[in-house]
Amino acid sequence: MKINNIRNFAIIAHIDHGKSTLADRIMELTNTVSQRESQAQLLDDLAVEQAHGVTVKSRTVRNYYQADNGEEYEYNFIDTPGHVDFTYEVSKSLAASDGALLLVDATKGVQAQTVANFRLAKANNLVVIPVINKIDAQAAEVERAEQEILSLDAEFANGPILKISAKTGLNIHDVLEVIHTTIPAPTGSRQAPLKALVFDSQYDSFKGIIAYVRIINGQLKANEDLLLMANQQRVNANEVGIFTPQRVAAPNLVAGDVGYIITGLKDPKALRVGDTLTNYAQPTAAALPGYEPAKSVVFAGFYPKGDNFNDLQLAVEKLALNDTSFEYHQENSDALGAGFRCGFLGIFHLQIIRERLQNEYGLDVLTTAPNVTYNVHLKNQSEPIMINNPIRFPDFAAVDYVEEPLAQATITTQADLLGSVMKLADQHRGQLVDMANQGELIVLEYRIPFAEIAYDFFNQLKSVSHGYATLMTEFAEYDLADVVKIEVHVNYAKVDALSFVVHRDDVANVTQELVHKLKYVIPRKLYPMPVQAIVEGKVIARVDVPPLRKNAAVSGDKKSISKKQALLRRQSVNQRQAAQSDIELPQEVFNAILELEK
Ligand SMILES: Nc1nc2c(ncn2[C@@H]2O[C@H](COP(=O)(O)OP(=O)(O)OP(=O)(O)O)[C@@H](O)[C@H]2O)c(=O)[nH]1
Identify whether the C-beta of residue 493 lies closer than 8 Å to the C-beta of residue 534.
no
- Taking CA atoms only, the protein residue closest to ligand 1 atom 1 is 137
485 is in an annotated binding site: no
d(CA 19, ligand 1 centre) in Å: 6
Q: Which of 438, 456, 481 is the last residue of a domain?
A: 481
Q: How many helices (H) and strands (E) does the chain have?
A: 14, 31
Residue 576, pLDDT score: 53
| Residue 82 pLDDT > 60 | no
Task: Give me the percent of the chain exceeding a pLDDT of 90.
Answer: 34
| Residue 127 pLDDT > 70 | yes
Q: Which atom of ligand 1 is nearest to the CA of 83?
A: 25
159 is in an annotated binding site: no
- Taking CA atoms only, the protein residue closest to ligand 1 atom 30 is 134
Could you report the per-residue pLDDT of 333-362, keeping only the tens digit for each?
887 888 999 998 877 788 888 888 888 888
pLDDT band at residue 221, thresholds of 50, 70 and 90?
very high
Q: Check whether residue 428 and residue 445 sit in a common domain.
A: yes
CA distance 122 to 127: 8
| Residue 481 pLDDT > 90 | yes
Total domains in the chain come to 5
Q: What integer best gives the mean pLDDT of the chain?
A: 84
| Residue 88 pLDDT > 70 | no
Q: Check whether residue 58 and residue 130 sit in a common domain.
A: yes
d(CA 53, ligand 1 centre) in Å: 9
Could you report the per-residue pLDDT of 397-437, keeping only the tens digit for each?
999 999 999 988 888 888 889 999 999 999 999 999 999 88
Residue 363, pLDDT score: 87
Identify whether the C-beta of residue 372 lies closer than 8 Å to the C-beta of residue 403.
no
Find the range with the poorest average confidence among 154-163, 388-397, 577-586: 577-586
Q: Which of 182, 204, 229 is the last residue of a domain?
A: 182
Q: Check whether residue 94 and residue 174 sit in a common domain.
A: yes
pLDDT band at residue 86, thresholds of 50, 70 and 90?
low
133 is in an annotated binding site: yes
In a domain, 286, yes or no: no
Structure letter (DSSP) for residue 598? -
Q: Check whether residue 421 and residue 448 sit in a common domain.
A: yes
d(CA 438, ligand 1 centre) in Å: 24
Residue ranges around ligand 1 (CB below 6 Å): 13, 15-21, 54-55, 81-82, 133-134, 136-137, 165-167
- Taking CA atoms only, the protein residue closest to ligand 1 atom 21 is 16
CA distances from 263 to 60, 222, 239 (A): 18, 10, 8
pLDDT band at residue 99, thresholds of 50, 70 and 90?
very high
| Residue 52 pLDDT > 70 | no
In a domain, 293, yes or no: no
Pocket test for ligand 1, best of 12, 15, 19, 21 (most atoms within 8 A of CB): 21
In a domain, 292, yes or no: no
| Residue 39 pLDDT > 50 | no
Q: Which of 438, 454, 481 is the last residue of a domain?
A: 481
Q: Left (φ > 0), alpha (ψ -120 to 50) or beta: where does 218 sit?
A: left
pLDDT band at residue 35, thresholds of 50, 70 and 90?
very low
| Residue 29 pLDDT > 60 | yes
Range of the domain at 58: 3-182
Give me the interface pTM, i.e. the ipTM: 0.97
Q: What is the mean pLDDT of residues 364-381?
A: 88
Residue 7, pLDDT score: 94
Q: Check whether residue 23 and residue 149 sit in a common domain.
A: yes
Q: What is the mean pLDDT of residues 200-228?
A: 88
In a domain, 291, yes or no: no
User: The domain spanning residue 232 has which CATH number?
Assistant: 2.40.30.10
Structure letter (DSSP) for residue 131? E
79 is in an annotated binding site: no
34 is in an annotated binding site: no
Phi and psi at 150, nearest 5°, equal -70, -35
Q: Which atom of ligand 1 is nearest to the CA of 170?
A: 31
Q: What is the mean pLDDT of residues 356-381?
A: 88
In a domain, 412, yes or no: yes
| Residue 585 pLDDT > 70 | yes
| Residue 53 pLDDT > 60 | no
**Highest-confidence range of 282-296, 308-322, 579-593, by mean pLDDT?**
308-322
d(CA 114, ligand 1 centre) in Å: 15
Could you report the per-residue pLDDT of 494-524, keeping only the tens digit for each?
888 888 888 998 888 888 888 888 888 888 8
Q: Check whether residue 464 and residue 505 sit in a common domain.
A: no
Could you report the per-residue pLDDT of 128-150, keeping only the tens digit for each?
999 999 999 999 999 999 999 99
Label each residue of 228-264 as H, E or C.
ECCCCEEEECCEEEEECCCEEECCEEECCCEEEEECC
d(CA 20, ligand 1 centre) in Å: 7
390 or 295: which leads in pLDDT: 390
d(CA 144, ligand 1 centre) in Å: 19
80 is in an annotated binding site: no
Residue 36, pLDDT score: 44
User: The domain spanning residue 16 has which CATH number?
Assistant: 3.40.50.300
CA distances from 565 to 110, 230, 392, 569 (A): 74, 73, 43, 6
d(CA 15, ligand 1 centre) in Å: 9
- Taking CA atoms only, the protein residue closest to ligand 1 atom 32 is 134
User: The domain spanning residue 527 has which CATH number?
Assistant: 3.30.70.2570
Q: Which atom of ligand 1 is nearest to the CA of 54?
A: 24
Identify whether the C-beta of residue 43 lies closer than 8 Å to the C-beta of residue 23.
yes
Q: Left (φ > 0), alpha (ψ -120 to 50) or beta: where does 169 sit?
A: left
395 is in an annotated binding site: no
The letter for the amino acid at 371 is N
Q: Check whether residue 553 and residue 411 sit in a common domain.
A: no
Angle, CA of 193, 194 and 196, to the nearest 5°? 145
In a domain, 188, yes or no: no
Q: Check whether residue 475 and residue 561 sit in a common domain.
A: no
Q: Which atom of ligand 1 is nearest to the CA of 23?
A: 15
Residue 422, pLDDT score: 95
Q: What is the mean pLDDT of residues 364-370?
A: 84
Q: Check whether residue 472 and residue 488 sit in a common domain.
A: no
| Residue 578 pLDDT > 60 | no
320 or 37: which leads in pLDDT: 320
Q: Check whether residue 121 and residue 235 sit in a common domain.
A: no
Residue 330, pLDDT score: 92
Q: Which residues contact 307 (CB under 8 A, 6 or more apart)?
A: none
d(CA 110, ligand 1 centre) in Å: 15
In a domain, 190, yes or no: no
User: The domain spanning residue 305 has which CATH number?
Assistant: 3.30.70.870
d(CA 11, ligand 1 centre) in Å: 13
In a domain, 200, yes or no: yes
- Taking CA atoms only, the protein residue closest to ligand 1 atom 8 is 18
Q: Check whether residue 53 and residue 173 sit in a common domain.
A: yes
CA distance 185 to 3: 7
Structure letter (DSSP) for residue 371? B
Q: Check whether residue 152 and residue 57 sit in a common domain.
A: yes
| Full-model pTM | 0.66
471 or 393: which leads in pLDDT: 393
